Amino acid sequence: SYPCSPEVQSILKISQPQEPELMNANPSPPPSPSQQINLGPSSNPHAKPSDFHFLKVIGKGSFGKVLLARHKAEEQFYAVKVLQKKAILKKKEEKHIMSERNVLLKNVKHPFLVGLHFSFQTADKLYFVLDYINGGELFYHLQRERCFLEPRARFYAAEIASALGYLHSLNIVYRDLKPENILLDSQGHIVLTDFGLCKENIEHNGTTSTFCGTPE
């Protein structure tokens, strides 16, 4: 069995206590036309939350959380990003969310970038079904070990440069590089994640004027 934590139950508005099968079985109403957000080519109209066992929270962001989930039919683990539509629409962030989706779709072709498999939506939430990277954040490993030996640091730097170079070849600027957004996979390779601040269609020598980051 795959128990669902209380925090996950709260995010998905699941009543408790129930068995995992029942906790995931409550259908969410489909979005009305006014609530619909165009998910483009990533959209899977047949997907729904009850296709997954949602297990635990593995990340948090401005508009929602990332949950570890197991697809019932495929028996495959994914990281599912669950975003609150109300918060997105209130702050008029649809453009940034769709920009992130566009970048994620292109990432599937690169080993050092987290990729989007498909997306779907309910009346109040967006779901992005992403690669599950199980080695933890580079930030965690750096905190635990205090510093890396030079060969290891070079290894990470080379893979980060490869990932950024691929994005640059697609005229995409990645603007949120920090240890918290660098994951390690089961073999120790880096995987960049969180593309909400990416800027598309930036030509060579182009510039941007948007403030990115947290004011200090």
Going by the annotation, the residues of the binding site are: 90
- 194 given a catalytic annotation: no
Residue 28's CB is within 10 A of a number of other CB atoms, namely 16
User: Choosing from 51, 124, 176, 185, which is the catalytic residue?
Assistant: 176
**Strands 116-121 vs 76-84: parallel, antiparallel or unpaired:** unpaired
Query: Can you say which residues are annotated as belonging to the binding site for ATP?
Result: 90
Tokens of 198: 């990416």
Taking the C-alpha atoms of residue 202 and residue 175, their distance in angstroms, rounded to an integer, is 12
Tell me if 98 sits within 8 A of 38, measured CB to CB: yes
**Residues carrying an active site annotation:** 176
